[in-house]
Structure 1
Amino acid sequence: MSENVLAIDIGGTKIAAGLVDPGGALLTSQQRPTPRGAGAEAVWAVVADLVAELTAGVGVRGAGVVSAGPVQLQAGTVSPINVPDWRDFPLRDRVAELLPGRPVRLAGDGVAMALGEHWRGAGQGAGFLLGMVVSTGIGGGLVLDGQPYPGRTGNAGHVGHVVVDTAGGPCACGGHGCVETIAAGPSMVAWAKTQGWSGPAGDARALAAAAADGDPIARSAFARSGTALAAMIASVAAVCDLDLVVVGGGVAKAGELLFEPLHAALARYAGLEFIAELEVIPAELGGEAGLIGAAALLRTD
């Protein structure tokens, strides 16, 4: 039996799967668009097809499966906000049926990103790490002493839904004023459009390009996002006494357009010494972090 691990990463935009070796190297991967509005089994069919394709003629010792949340670890189910066709979907057991006799471990995608960065990326050696993805949404996960910190239900580190604006607008989670409503890519673009930005709706990459070219509204959108993220990070750090925050995702690819206002705002919000000392740095693994982190779920098996 091969020592390689099957890794599966399910999000609202795409479903990815790959094979990861014992050292954390991603050997091969495939991805497909996530079906929308076609029903739970249509989404599952994509997962099953990827599993069949990657394991055809190849042995694996188990699978690490991660999904957008919320997740319920004890039940092995997922109800991703951005995959509305899945509610209490028994993801762990369905994958286990395809891999009889082999362990299947489930986690949220934010936890996987944090684990991946801790194992092979920017977070190596951190005692208490917050890994964050700033993209279409904002996800996060915690790694404590090299192990995922799941919390009671498996959703610890769900930092996109920390409230940073008590008078803020509604969020897809059902709350109001979450950092995701300000700092996620679509939220940034929507705000910029209200300020008169003439770029394409919903296109955060175009917004980043405009900001890089000096467009004042686009730059303000990134400043607003960085400030909201800093407020959230300061709050989480005050509770958790973190060692390191690693930030990845499509919005974070804008580099200093995001990190410069984030660091400046964090310096204002971090009144306590142990928060002021906190490092916030870019992630290193890019899109591979979720799959590498999914495989890391089996490192202790």
Structure 2
Amino acid sequence: MTELTLALDIGGTKIAAGLVDADGSLVDSQQRPTPRDADPEAAWTVVEGLLSEMAAGRTVRGVGIASAGPVDLPAGTVAPINVPAWRGFPIRERVSAALPGVPVRLGGDGLCMALGEHWRGAGQGAAFLLGMVVSTGIGGGLVLDGEPYDGRTGNAGHVGHVVVDVAGEQCSCGGRGCVETIASGPHMAAWARANGWQPTGDADAKTLAADAAAGDAVALRAFARSATAVAAMIASVGAVCDLDLVVIGGGVARSGPLLFDPVRAALAQFAGLSFIADIEVVPAALGGDAGLVGAAALLR
């Protein structure tokens, strides 16, 4: 019987589980909405059910967990900003108890996205990779010299909270001027509304992208402003980590050239050093499966 890695991807909107084979192919997956209940056991019940469903009748060689952060790798706990009921939740211990006898590895969801793209997606062959998601929030993870880089606590690569505007607005993290306050989907839409955008549909990033594609001047300015912030962040991280590739996924990234063309143009303006100018920026290839594939990669 083929041995499979069981992967979990835990976020504020959904909790997903999947089975990944030795080649990095996702052979089965299920997902459930993340409970908004204040009881931490409500979300755990969903995880436990998915574990049981995925493991039934299979030989599982290990479990990889991708979780929204912050995470605490030494303690094996998570405190996702978008899952308020979990504060210091002992996810590694609980999963180990549910599936005794198999190794369990934990990583931040941004790191797992980067690992998934590095293993099976757009980042194959890159030695120094930043994987990032531009969506409701902005997350990221680092693969340095071909290896995942966790940092001291497991939160390295949290690029959504790189400061790009020292006089900027307050961020949900408690800081000020983070790239997330400019380039995340909800902040883009809010800025556009405040500057005269009259959406043709819901006042969200999806409608903003559609209006920008149709030539709406304010929507195009919102994308240019977001792209400039993302490019400034990439230049900063590239200067520190000597990157060769940045892979961008997430809902806002699905707007394609509306985001990528101005990001590349702005990066050229920020890249005063040749090794920053050499950074390639490409769309992610795995979509929503990157977190599960990357969680499985934690066991490689």
Q: TM bucket by the smaller chain? A: over 0.9
Check if 1:81 corresponds to 2:81.
yes
Structure 1: how far apart are the matches of 2:55 and 2:30? 12
Look up the SS of the partner of 1:38 in the other structure. Answer: coil
Structure 1: how far apart are the matches of 2:35 and 2:161? 25
**Residue in structure 2 matched with residue 245 of structure 1 by the alignment:** 246
Identical columns (%) = 72
| Partner amino acid, structure 1, of 2:223 | F
Structure 1: how far apart are the matches of 2:2 and 2:99? 13
Structure 2: how far apart are the matches of 1:75 and 1:36? 25
Contact 1:234 1:266 in 2 (8 A): yes
Contact 2:68 2:80 in 1 (8 A): yes
**Residue in structure 2 matched with residue 114 of structure 1 by the alignment:** 114
- Per-residue deviation at 1:203? 2.0
- Per-residue deviation at 1:37? 3.8
- Per-residue deviation at 1:13? 1.1
- Per-residue deviation at 1:146? 2.6
Check if 1:287 corresponds to 2:283.
no
Structure 2: how far apart are the matches of 1:41 and 1:198? 42
- Per-residue deviation at 1:2? 4.2
**Residue in structure 2 matched with residue 190 of structure 1 by the alignment:** 190
**Residue in structure 2 matched with residue 68 of structure 1 by the alignment:** 68
Worse-superposed segment, 174-183 or 37-46:
37-46
Contact 2:38 2:84 in 1 (8 A): no
Aligned residues: 299
Q: Deviations over 1:125-157 (max 9, x none)?
A: 111111001111100000123321001111110
**Residue in structure 2 matched with residue 223 of structure 1 by the alignment:** 224
Structure 1: how far apart are the matches of 2:132 and 2:282? 10
Contact 2:11 2:67 in 1 (8 A): yes
- Per-residue deviation at 1:201? 5.5
| Partner amino acid, structure 1, of 2:129 | L
- Per-residue deviation at 1:198? 2.2
Q: Deviations over 1:186-233 (max 9, x none)?
A: 111111111122225652111111111111111111111100000000
Structure 1: how far apart are the matches of 2:72 and 2:127? 25
**Residue in structure 2 matched with residue 139 of structure 1 by the alignment:** 139
| Partner amino acid, structure 2, of 1:292 | V
TM-score computed with the length of structure 2 as normaliser = 0.97
Structure 1: how far apart are the matches of 2:59 and 2:53? 12
| Partner amino acid, structure 1, of 2:173 | C
Structure 1: how far apart are the matches of 2:103 and 2:284? 29
Check if 1:99 corresponds to 2:103.
no
| Partner amino acid, structure 2, of 1:44 | W
Structure 1: how far apart are the matches of 2:160 and 2:202? 22
| Partner amino acid, structure 1, of 2:75 | A
Unaligned runs of 5+ in 1: none
**Residue in structure 1 matched with residue 272 of structure 2 by the alignment:** 271
Check if 1:258 corresponds to 2:270.
no
Contact 1:193 1:201 in 2 (8 A): no
Structure 2: how far apart are the matches of 1:182 and 1:80? 21
Look up the SS of the partner of 2:296 in the other structure. Answer: helix
Look up the SS of the partner of 2:61 in the other structure. Answer: coil
| Partner amino acid, structure 2, of 1:84 | P
**Residue in structure 1 matched with residue 170 of structure 2 by the alignment:** 170
Unaligned runs of 5+ in 2: none
Structure 1: how far apart are the matches of 2:190 and 2:94? 38
Contact 1:241 1:275 in 2 (8 A): yes
Contact 1:117 1:123 in 2 (8 A): yes
| Partner amino acid, structure 2, of 1:91 | I
Look up the SS of the partner of 1:106 in the other structure. Answer: strand
**Residue in structure 1 matched with residue 297 of structure 2 by the alignment:** 296
Check if 1:43 corresponds to 2:24.
no
Look up the SS of the partner of 1:260 in the other structure. Answer: helix
TM-score computed with the length of structure 1 as normaliser = 0.97
